[in-house]
């Protein structure tokens, strides 16, 4: 029997980095939502393996240990006799792009393994396997909007967001997270006082959420823009698009997003951006 699931893109609507811990890890607070677009992962009976397809497969073809395989092995280390299988990944999201493509794939693999082994998604062993696989993997397991903190392993309760219509843009140039953190230049134990993250809860309407987002930020945006100037170009293009309410970078980049008043405005903007920047990856999507 073959099982399948969508590995939806993770969008950091906000990303505050209040300090760097003494152990060298950066502490974060982020409001995360998930897009309607993503990769596709299937699981079939057989020995543990991974096959690739899709328009972005060449970007990860040389990886010796894909995050899907790593997540499966981490879960097998925690559950004796775990049934594994043959994974197939149809890759549609750009790589090293700040929207959790690899993390979403790994989380999708954990969901499929949990299903075939009759294990609850909130089983501590599943969450432990997610956390050791990657910082963004835990939040991608349930793929629900929420606040995440710590290194990414501290998850708040799911949040019901109002309808959000977005355009995602990526220059098809990877940007490594470690390089962006290094450019930020925070020393172990150093804090920054750029303002607290606003409180987020259920029941916000669209204008209230946009007002809240404008009081927040992405603390990695400036460093990413220095390392990859096309980040700034994308933000300028999105901000200038008709109907755009806010433009911001997701994660450590290089993907940026614009939020629009409705799906029609987002679709028009995506069409215009795709026409003017044919080398960019551009998607119009809903976030939730």
pLDDT, average across residues 116-142: 97
Domain locations in the chain as residue ranges: 3-155, 164-287
Phi, psi torsion values for 43, nearest 5 degrees: -135, 130
Residues 131 and 75: their CA atoms lie apart, in Å, by 11
Instruction: State both tokens at 145.
Output: 């909007």
What topology is assigned to 3-155 in CATH? Ribosomal Protein S5; domain 2 (3.30.230)
pTM of this structure:
0.96
- 154-155 and 86-90: which strand pairing? unpaired
Residues 282 and 256: their CA atoms lie apart, in Å, by 10
Task: Quote the DSSP letter at residue 158.
Answer: -
Instruction: State both tokens at 36.
Output: 């309607």
Instruction: State both tokens at 122.
Output: 């909130």
Q: Which of 39, 105, 136, 219 is catalytic?
A: 136
* Angle at which helices 67-78 and 124-133 cross, to 10°: 140
Read off the pLDDT of residues 261-277 as tens digits, 9 standing for 90 and up: 999 999 999 999 999 99
Q: Is residue 109 within 8 Å of residue 5, measured between CB atoms?
A: no
pLDDT bin (cut points 50, 70, 90) of residue 230 is very high
Q: Which of 151, 70, 139 is nearest to 106 (CA)?
A: 70
The structure tokens 């994974």 sit at: 87
Q: Which of 10, 91, 245, 283 is catalytic?
A: 10
Per the prediction, the chain carries an average pLDDT of 96
Residues 201 and 76: their CA atoms lie apart, in Å, by 36
pLDDT bin (cut points 50, 70, 90) of residue 62 is low
Confidence (pLDDT) at 63: 64
Q: Does residue 23 carry a catalytic annotation?
A: no
Q: Which CATH number is associated with domain 164-287?
A: 3.30.70.890
Q: Does residue 91 carry a catalytic annotation?
A: no
Rounded to whole angstroms, the maximal C-alpha distance in the chain is: 55
The total number of residues shown for the chain amounts to 288
* Helix, strand, or coil (residue 144): coil
pLDDT bin (cut points 50, 70, 90) of residue 49 is very high
pLDDT bin (cut points 50, 70, 90) of residue 60 is confident
Q: Is residue 91 within 8 Å of residue 53, measured between CB atoms?
A: yes
40-76 burial by CB neighbour count: b if 16+ within 10 A, else e? bbbbbeeeeebebebebeebbeeeeebbbbbbbbbbb
Residues 6 and 40: their CA atoms lie apart, in Å, by 5
pLDDT, average across residues 55-66: 81
Is the fold of 3-155 the same as that of 164-287? no
Q: Which of 254, 220, 214, 258 is nearest to 236 (CA)?
A: 258
């Amino acid at each position: 029997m073959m099982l399948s699931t969508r590995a939806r893109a993770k969008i950091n609507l906000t990303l505050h980095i209040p300090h760097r811990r003494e152990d060298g890890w950066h502490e974060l607070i982020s409001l995360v939502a998930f897009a309607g677009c993503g990769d596709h992962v299937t699981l079939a009976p057989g020995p543990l393996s991974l096959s690739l397809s899709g328009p972005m497969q060449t970007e990860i073809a040389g990886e010796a240990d894909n995050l899907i395989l790593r997540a499966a092995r981490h879960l097998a280390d925690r559950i004796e006799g775990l049934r594994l299988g043959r994974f197939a990944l149809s890759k549609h999201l750009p790589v090293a792009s700040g929207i959790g493509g690899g993390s979403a794939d790994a989380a999708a693999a954990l969901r499929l393994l949990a299903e075939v082994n009759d294990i609850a998604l909130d089983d501590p062993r599943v969450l432990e396997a997610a956390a050791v696989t990657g910082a963004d993997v835990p939040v991608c397991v349930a793929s629900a909007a929420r606040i995440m903190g710590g290194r990414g392993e501290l998850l708040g309760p799911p949040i019901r967001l109002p309808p959000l219509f977005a355009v995602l843009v990526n220059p098809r140039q990877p940007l490594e997270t470690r390089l962006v953190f290094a450019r930020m230049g925070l020393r172990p134990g150093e804090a920054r006082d750029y303002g607290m993250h606003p409180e987020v809860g259920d029941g916000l309407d669209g204008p209230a959420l946009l007002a809240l987002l404008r009081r927040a930020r992405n603390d990695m945006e400036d460093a990413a823009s220095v390392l990859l100037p096309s980040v700034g170009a994308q933000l300028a293009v999105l901000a200038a698009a008709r109907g755009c309410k806010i433009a911001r970078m997701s994660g450590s980049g290089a993907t940026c997003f614009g939020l629009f008043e409705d799906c029609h405005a987002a679709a028009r903007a995506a069409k215009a951006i795709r026409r003017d920047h044919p080398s960019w990856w551009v998607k119009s999507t809903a976030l939730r």
